Structure 1
Amino acid sequence: MAAAKAAGKTAAKGAPPTEAEGAEGAEAQPARSRKKKLILLALPVLLLGGGAGVWFSGLLGGAPAPAEQAAEAGAAREAAENRQPVFIAMPDITANLNAPGRRGPFIRLRSQIEVAGAQDAAALQAAMPRLVDLFTTYLREVRPEELRGSAGTHRLREELIARANVAAAPARVTDVLFTEILVQ
């Protein structure tokens, strides 16, 4: 025991460790580092597992109970069955296109708007003057070359849907169907 105290004093004073002390220190060091590594690796796994368990148990408002899911699915299915698409005819729109020259080209557009249900159709009918104004204003800024080809027609449809959704909010416009597009 006295030898161990003496060895500890020499090691504390900065003297090089003896072989016995070096062997004990070398064995203790890797064992400690292994334990630390094991703890550092296991801790995140345990925390994630515990958090997932709490989340899915519903304590934090995670996954709803199966009865709630079934009720929500039934309500969504019922709402989808009751909401048949409704088509509303737009008045004919004639507008000059944005082109240089004294006598520029014009467009005549005849279309129908598809909405999700009767409530949306009523909201769209109420907003019809605003909708015609937005469509006409947009068409006056379009250049004739932007309307060429199927890609031009597709871009026109997307722009008109976006404007219709703005005009008829909170109603939702699902599509704009072209009956006639005439560019002269």
Structure 2
Amino acid sequence: MSATAVEAPVEAPPPRKKKAIVMLALALALGGGGFASTYLGLWSPAALIGGSAKPDQGAAAATAVVFVDVPKIEMNIPGSRGRSLVLSAAIETDETHRAEVEHLMPRVLDAFTSFLSGIDPGAYDKRGVLEIIRSELVTRSRYVVGEEPVKDLLITEFLIR
């Protein structure tokens, strides 16, 4: 008997599967292109949603940083062997709150002095005392003046003699 090999025809995928594969590849290519263009900074989705509102000059002037000097504090450290403390600082605020900070400066100075006089004399010899004092002075200035006006506090001079 002679064997004739009958080759079965190779079936092509149905058009429906082909269409799904093409759509998936197209979606991946477009998604990758969108991600790449956003990552490279060519456009911003947030700008499309929020609009491109330009900040006005009045808002920029209101947020200008201003430093209000706290009068220099010179005091003897209580309970120590004749040591004294000299501290100069400036409160960081903006132009709209400058008058308020200057008006309440006597209360701020009182709060600073009462805190500094209550520190244990041995604490001045510890490492990191300046950071602790700075954070406490920021807290006290925000308590006196308010949260919004006081942005930060800069210690410009800290001397223990």
**Into which bin does the TM-score normalised by the smaller protein fall?**
0.5 to 0.7
8 Å contact 2:62–2:95 — kept in the other structure?
no
Matched, 1:123 2:103: no
Match of 1:138 among 90, 104, 115: 115
Unaligned 5+ segments in structure 1 are 1-65
Provide the aligned length of Structure 1 versus Structure 2. 114
Matched, 1:114 2:107: no
Higher helix share: 1
C-alpha distance in structure 1 between counterparts of 2:152 and 2:125, whole Å? 20
TM-score scaled by length of structure 2? 0.58
Match of 1:105 in 2: 83
For residue 124 of structure 1, what is the amino acid of its counterpart?
V
C-alpha distance in structure 2 between counterparts of 1:158 and 1:96, whole Å? 21
CA positional deviation for 1:76: 10
* Rg (Cα) greater in structure: 1
TM-score scaled by length of structure 1? 0.52
Q: Any idea what the Cα deviations from partners look like across 1:22-80, whole Å, max 9, x if unmatched?
A: xxxxxxxxxxxxxxxxxxxxxxxxxxxxxxxxxxxxxxxxxxxx87x559x86699746
Once superposed, which parts of structure 1, at least 4 consecutive aligned residues long, lie more than 4 Å away?
Answer: 73-78
CA positional deviation for 1:181: 1.1
Percent identity (aligned): 28
Match of 1:93 among 47, 60, 73: 73
Higher strand share: 2
Match of 1:147 among 124, 127, 135: 124
